[in-house]
Amino acid sequence: MLLALLLSGVPAAPVAAETRVDLELVLAVDASGSVDSAEYELQMQGIASALRDPEVAAAIASGPSGAIAVTVMLWAEANRPKQSLPWAKLSDAGSIERFAAEVARMPRRLPAGGTGIGKAIQYAVWEIDRNDYIGTRQVIDVSGDGRETAFREFSLSARQGRSVAVLKGMTVNGLAILNEVPDLSAYYEAEVIGGAGAFVEVARSYEDFAQALRRKLIREISWRPNVSRPAEPAPLRHIMATRFDTP
């Protein structure tokens, strides 16, 4: 019963031709009410700058496929719409630059509101399930400057969102921005991150975001687990085959 509740809102992946990559990565970016327009711009320009870094490009090229698939997703209030860029395959300087430029000009269209980390993770799982890629690893990279706000009916806590991802063999990493909550990294450690190799990176302020994300991308793209992803147990596969409404 609890498992069905946690996975509610995560539809089964469509049957489609899939491209193999080393990593499927969702960069889930905080666009809640605590993030003003200048801070939002620092995040988007920071992502673009980090993607253009030569060490990040080297990490992308270092895997067996020499490619990753990535999207940027904006999140805020738990039960409000999310906003995402189309998935992109990054494998060379041209593809990286095209995606970085798209990120740099990504407008902020979703309503601000509260901090809905659990639903953001759930939506990121859905983004991975519905794309046209099959990666050796799947990672959700949550960045933000605050804790989950008041729990509401039909929502998910950060821990519950994390459980949705971990039950599907995905990893949730965190980038805690400490400008408003000095101990936010401890909260991310306890409530947000999970799965194989999960970790928290820290940005002391929004001005530090680009360098923190650069360090984080190099680490999570380069990491090579020694064990393969375990198969989902039969009951979980049965649940995943059930059709759910879009979150």
CATH of the domain spanning 20-224? 3.40.50.410
Does residue 65 carry a pLDDT above 60? yes
| Crossing angle between the packed helical segments 54-61 and 209-222, to the nearest 10 degrees | 20
Question: For residue range 122-136, what is the model confidence (pLDDT) as tens digits?
Answer: 999 999 999 999 999
Residue 87 CA to residue 91 CA, distance in Å, equals: 13
Predicted confidence band at 46 (pLDDT cuts at 50, 70, 90)?
very high
Average of pLDDT values for 169-198? 97
Do residues 203 and 212 lie in contact, with contact meaning Cβ atoms separated by under 8 Å? Answer: yes
Q: What is the pTM of this model?
A: 0.84
HSE-CB for 217 with a 13 A CA cutoff? 29
- Domain ranges in the chain are 20-224
Q: Are strands 171-177 and 83-84 parallel, antiparallel or unpaired?
A: unpaired
Does residue 235 carry a pLDDT above 70? no
Residue at 117: amino acid letter: I
Predicted confidence band at 112 (pLDDT cuts at 50, 70, 90)?
confident
